[in-house]
């Protein structure tokens, strides 16, 4: 069994107050990382996250931030260095917007908001990391199987997640001279707290028929893939997308 030790380095995990982002932050903390996390609006989830992570003391710092805003993004790097007294070494672009609905009812505003958070945010934060890190860092972008096969219920979301894989590969090339690796993880159907019990039961039944491994995945399984890509275990891997989808898509 592989265990990870990140030597108290600093990770920035966006959208870390719940769901997959929270699982990633927890896994990093358990692997001797210090984490600055972000949330955008959900104060209840932020409060519960802080309570759950009290056991990690000052190794976890959660801040409210709009990741698509350049000045707020810059402030995250400054806050991290002031709080932890060292720069950010790892970036996990997890924050995202997903609103399902009728394509013909999709508004310009929703399209723009989805692209701002899901794609502009990772662009800004990756760019700022490359500006502020002299040598050596790792980026993981959280994409989606929807970005690989398309999505009729959330085409704006699917479009951003497809573009995010392309951005991941571009940054892998651009960051290579600085030994900055850039990879992505594309989750499939993941059981998280964004679903209520009835929704989860229905999805689990559908998953047993639609997914080769016959179940939904867990946030922890996504987190394991993220830690692998951030760690030195994957030191010769960049520009790659790992599918965590139970066999829904093999590409």
Vertex 119, ends 141 and 184: CA angle to 5°?
15
Active-site annotation holds for 90: no
Q: Given 3-state DSSP classes, what are the helix, strand and coil percentages for the chain, each rounded to the nearest 5?
A: 50, 15, 30
* H/E run at residue 88: strand 88-93
Give the rounded distance of the alpha carbon of 122 from its chain centre.
9
Inter-CA distances, 124 with 23, 83, 143, 173, Å: 23, 21, 16, 17
CB 90 within 8 A of CB 230: yes
| DSSP code string of 111-135 | HHHHHIIIIIHHHHHHHHHHHH-SS
CB 77 within 8 A of CB 87: yes
Q: Which of 56, 83, 157, 236 is catalytic?
A: 157
What are the backbone angles phi and psi of residue 124, rounded to the nearest 5°? -60, -50
In angstroms, rounded to a whole number, what is the distance separating the alpha carbons of residues 73 and 163? 20
CB 234 within 8 A of CB 228: yes
CB 89 within 8 A of CB 10: yes
Task: Show which residues are catalytic.
Answer: 157
């Amino acid at each position: 069994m592989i265990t990870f030790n990140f030597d108290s380095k600093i990770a920035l995990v966006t959208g870390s107050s719940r769901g997959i982002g929270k699982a990633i932050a927890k896994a990093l903390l358990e692997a001797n990382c210090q984490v600055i996390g972000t949330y955008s609006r959900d104060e209840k989830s932020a409060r519960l996250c802080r309570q759950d992570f009290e056991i990690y003391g000052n190794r976890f710092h959660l801040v409210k931030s709009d990741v698509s805003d350049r000045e707020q993004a810059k402030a995250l790097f400054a806050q991290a260095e002031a709080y932890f007294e060292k720069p950010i070494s790892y970036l996990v672009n997890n924050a995202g917007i997903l609103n399902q609905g009728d394509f013909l009812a999709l508004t310009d505003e929703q399209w723009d908001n989805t692209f701002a958070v899901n794609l502009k945010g990772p662009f800004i934060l990756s760019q700022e990391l490359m500006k502020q890190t002299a040598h050596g860092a790792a980026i993981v972008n959280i994409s989606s199987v929807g970005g690989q096969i398309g999505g009729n219920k959330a085409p704006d979301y699917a479009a951003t997640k497809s573009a995010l894989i392309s951005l991941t590969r571009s940054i892998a090339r651009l960051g290579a001279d600085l030994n900055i690796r850039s990879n992505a993880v594309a989750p499939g159907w993941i059981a998280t707290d964004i679903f209520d019990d009835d929704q989860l039961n229905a999805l689990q039944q559908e998953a047993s028929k639609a997914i080769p491994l016959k179940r939904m995945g867990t946030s922890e399984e996504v987190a394991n893939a993220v830690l692998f890509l951030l760690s030195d275990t994957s030191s010769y891997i960049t520009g790659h997308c790992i599918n965590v989808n139970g066999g829904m898509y093999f590409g």
